[in-house]
Structures are given as structure tokens and as C-alpha cells.
Chains A and B, each alone.
Chain A
Amino acid sequence: MYSEKVLEIFKNPPHAGGLQASSGVGKYVDEVSGDQIKIYIKTKEDVIVDSHFKTLGSVASIVCSSVLCSNLIGLTIKEAEDLDESIILNNIDLPADKEYVAIFVLNALKLAIENYYKEKEKEEKEGKSKTAKAKSVKKQVSKEAKEYAEEVKEKLEEEEDNKQVSKTKKAFEEMFSAWED
């Protein structure tokens, strides 16, 4: 039998539903009961700022998921990693034969943290390669710019020379026509 408090949470469980732009998601499926628990975490500088769940499972599974999410907010990822089922069981009075469900929920959290690290690693890798790419692009651009500048300079000089030649030519022509006169 569930307590009034458990049923109250079950009626309208806080943190139910998915989470947009989460930093990590973990889904645990228990083969025996068929329960499926999905925990979402959202972080800012390694601190959990929001957490949600989506659960297909018994009253205990839904309530444990909700209680865990409520207690995750404000913890660092490191602190969340070290959690055990007492974070749920100390905050809710479940019937003894339902306490094992808390382990399912913790498993889902562990998977969410794993996913968080993977995503972070991926982002970092992507970040490094972006910098390297930017540098090579810059190098390429500056090389091309230099070449272009050289080209322009040469052209200008050529033009300048041409101008000078035509100017001289014009002066000679003027001089010759004066002599002819």
C-alpha cells in the first residue's frame, strides 16, 4: 500500500515530461518488470540546473523518478555521480517491497551522466578541431591576401610605369612637334 504522500506526488508528479536542450539523457529498461525510465539533465558549468523524467512504470517508478529529479537540481555532476538510492528513499516512504525501484531510477541517472560526459567530450573535440580549422583558414586567407596585395602592387606599379612612359612619350612628341615647327 502506498502512503498518502506517495500518492500525492503520483497524482501530479513534479518534473514529468521531456526536457528541451538537455545536456544528458539516460534511459534504463528493466527486463523483468518491463519498466522504462528516462532521466534528462541540463547543466551550466557542470552544475545541474534542471532535470526531468519520462517513465513507463509502476507508481513507485514514477514517484522515484520525480523525487530524484527534484533532488538533483543544484548538484554538481560529480556529486550526482556519487549518489545512491538513499537520495530517493530518504525523501519518500515507499513500501519495503517497492524500494528496489529506486535502483532502476539511479541506473537511468548514471546513464544520463555517461551521456553528458560523451556529449561534453564530443563538443570539446568539435571545439578543438574548429580552432585548428579557423587557424588554417586564417593562414590560407592571409596567404591569399598577401599574394593579392603583391599582385595589386605589381599592377599599380606597372600602371604607374605605363603612365610614366606615356607621359615621357607625350613630352617627347610635344618637343619633336615644336622642333618640326
Chain B
Amino acid sequence: MKRVYLDNAATTNVSQDVLNEMIPAFNVVYGNSNSIHSFGREAINLVDRARDKVAKAIGAKSNEIYFTSGGTEANNWAIKGIAHANKDKGKHIIVSKIEHDSVLESCKSLEEEGFEVTYLNVDSNGLVSLAELMHEIRRDTILISIMAVNNEVGTIQNVKAIAKTAHENGIIFHTDAVQAVGSIKIDVNDMEIDVMSMSAHKIYGPKGVGALYIKNGIKCKNLIDGGTQERGLRGGTVNVPAVVGFGKAIEVAVRDIIVNQQKIKTIRDYFVRQINARIPYMRVNGHQYQKVQGILNVGFEMVDSEALATMLDLEGIAVSVGSACMSGVAQKSHVLTAMKVPEEYSKGSIRFSFGRNISKEDIDYTLDKLVEVVSRLRAISAVTKTGRAK
């Protein structure tokens, strides 16, 4: 059976050039990067070269990059670390309702400690309103955290404007850029970002590695105790091969960003046109223009997203229901709910996320199967429609 992978926002394959760069770090340069001997020095050299690449990719300084186990750890560290380090100034935090669970759950955990959190609404496109943000800022607000790109619908936030607003009020600004890196150009200085979370496996790097950018001068308490690694801010032996892979992956992603995004845009636009023409009662969720090319969230009426994704999987096509972290749990997408996507569409919404290796043949196969399975599920649905589709 043909297999098509359209879940690149969940994870990507490790590309060959990344893998080639990583292999020597497993068995040739295998020292502990924290050791003082030559084996250790060789390892720390590789780690620092990777750190340079990550810093360069986002316009930061090398000593502002801290490697983590991934995006979730980076988000936890940023939210809790900034809150704990700045609690003498206040205990109020502002985030949006459509943040990744690693941000939302960190906030819940802080609320139990006595912090107050304001969850900002988004509009039907998934955008945070600057006016509402300004309205919610208080004297004791110490942190604003708004994701750069939403993982479910791909909407790009007005990060620079939000960061400016934060700074005008003396507030630290953090952004979860896990889905943004490699999809949009990021310059932390130009965008006035203070703290930023990143992950390697969304950009053809290995799983289990990410990074937190912390601008020099920003106070952020460490999350993991018990080691002097990462300048004493993140204990634990550095996963050298993974860090090396991340360095290579982000270097390539940023270098090829325009070519890849153009290719994905062409494919995505063709895909949307075809679905529109061939399947009635559907809608695209998210912003029409202010979005990354790789993420496409589509709602189909009269079907259930899990059933649809499973039916596609049985045809060899991998897509996602909401975010991958949520699949298996019968709950409505908090993102689509916040965007007030009508129930009949959010119930049947699935995410297609395109990678740089996708072909037209894969897309045509997916389209044919999609038309077939939507029709099969609608035939046995308890909800039917009569009349012409809009």
C-alpha cells in the first residue's frame, strides 16, 4: 500500500545530511561534554559549534542559547523560570488560550503556587487582539507568552507588536517558536523577543532536543537542578549527537527557508483548491493569509475527525487530529474552541502538515482517498444534509 506522510507538524524524518553530521558524535567523539579531558573537550567543541549555528539562525548570541530535551521542556523552563525569578516584581502572567499544553499546563501549575494568569481570547482567525492584550496588562504583570505560530492551524501572531507592547510596560516577552523555526524568518533582536522556545524534530532534526533562547540580562531561574551544564542553568549530561543534529537541522532549515516554503505553498494551494472543488461542506480553519505554508487545518461536516484520520490511516495516509499530543483523548481542540469554529466543523477537523519532500503524486493520491473516505463516513453518519452545499 502506498504511504503518504502529512503530519510534519508532529514530527519530521531526520534528514540524511543531519544524520551524517550526528553519527560521529555517537562513536567517535563520545566524551562527556562536561569532562575536562580531551575527549570531553572534543565533545564540548561539537556542542558549541551547534550552539553557534542555532544562535546564528535566529540572530542571537551563542551564550544566549541553552539546549534542552525539546520544546516542552523549553516552554516549561521559560514560563516557570521567568515567573520564579521575577516574582518579587509581581505574580501576573498573560498567555493566549491557544498556546501549546506545555505552556498552559505550566501556567496551571503556577496558579497553584499563587500566581495569577490571564488567558487571552483569539479571534476567528486565531489572532490575539493587541487591544485586549493592552487592556489585560497590570502593574504586577511580569510575563507575556504568545506562541509565534500555532501548531494546529498555523496562524502567525503579530509577535513584534506584542513584544513591543510588553516592553513598553516593562514586561518580559516569551514566544513558543517550535512551529515557527524553519517556516518563517526569525530574528530575535528585530522581533524584540526576550525568551524563545525551539525544537529540532520539527525541522528534520532528531527528537529529544530543543533549545531555549534567553536574552542576556533576562532573569530566568533554572528548571533542572544537579549539574553545571549549560552554564549552570540546565543540569544533565548534554545529548551531544542530538545537539549536533539540531545545529545542522536549523542551519539547513534557515538556509533553504524561501525555496521550501514556496514549494510547500504551491502544493498546499493546489490541495485546498481540489478539496474545495471535490468535497462539499468543508472549511479551512485559521487565517487565510497570515499563516505558515506547511499547516492546513480543514473541517468536514457530518464526520468525526478521529474516524476520518483513522480511515485515512487505513489507506496509508498519516494526518493529525488536533495536535499529536492530544490524540487519544476525547476532548475538543482548545484551539478551535477558542477560535469559535462552529461545532459541526470542529468535530470533523483534521490537520494536514506538509513537508519539503512531498510530491504531487502523493497529494493526488491523498485527494482521491479523502474524497472516498469522507463520502463513506457521511453515508453512515447520524447527521445528514439536504440541499446544495454552500
Q: A residues near B, CB below 8 A? A: 1-2, 7, 10-11, 13, 16-17, 27, 32-38, 53-59, 61-62, 95, 97-98
Contacts and interface: CB of A to CB of B under 8 A. Distances in A.
- The listed residue with most B CB atoms (<10 A of its CB), out of A2, A17, A35, A56, is A56
B306 A56 contact: no
B380 A55 contact: yes
Interface in B166-220: none
A54 B382 CA distance: 5
Contacts of A2: 310
Contacts of B23: none
Given A7-B314, A11-B314, A97-B329, A17 B379 contact: yes
B1 to A, nearest CB: 13
19 contacts: A1-B328, A16-B380, A17-B379, A34-B343, A36-B381, A36-B382, A36-B383, A37-B382, A54-B382, A55-B381, A55-B382, A56-B302, A56-B303, A56-B304, A57-B304, A59-B306, A61-B307, A95-B328, A97-B328
B305 to A, nearest CB: 8
- SS class of chain B's interface: helix, strand, loop or mixed? loop
Contact of B304 (A13, A16, A38, A58): A58
Interface of B: 302-304, 306-307, 310-311, 314, 328-330, 332, 343, 347, 379-383
A146 to B, nearest CB: 55
Nearest to A53: B380
Contacts of A54: 380-382
Q: Is the interface of A mostly helix, strand, loop or mixed?
A: mixed
A17 B383 CA distance: 11
Contacts of A61: 304, 307
Contacts, number: 62
Given A34-B347, A57-B307, A58-B306, 19 more contacts: A1-B328, A10-B311, A16-B379, A16-B380, A33-B332, A36-B381, A54-B381, A54-B382, A55-B380, A56-B303, A56-B304, A56-B347, A56-B382, A57-B382, A58-B330, A59-B307, A59-B310, A62-B307, A97-B329
B380 A62 contact: yes
B307 to A, nearest CB: 5
Contact of A35 (B304, B311, B329): B304
Nearest to B378: A56
Contacts of A98: 330
A17 B379 CA distance: 7
A55 to B, nearest CB: 6
A56 B381 CA distance: 5
A127 B158 CA distance: 71
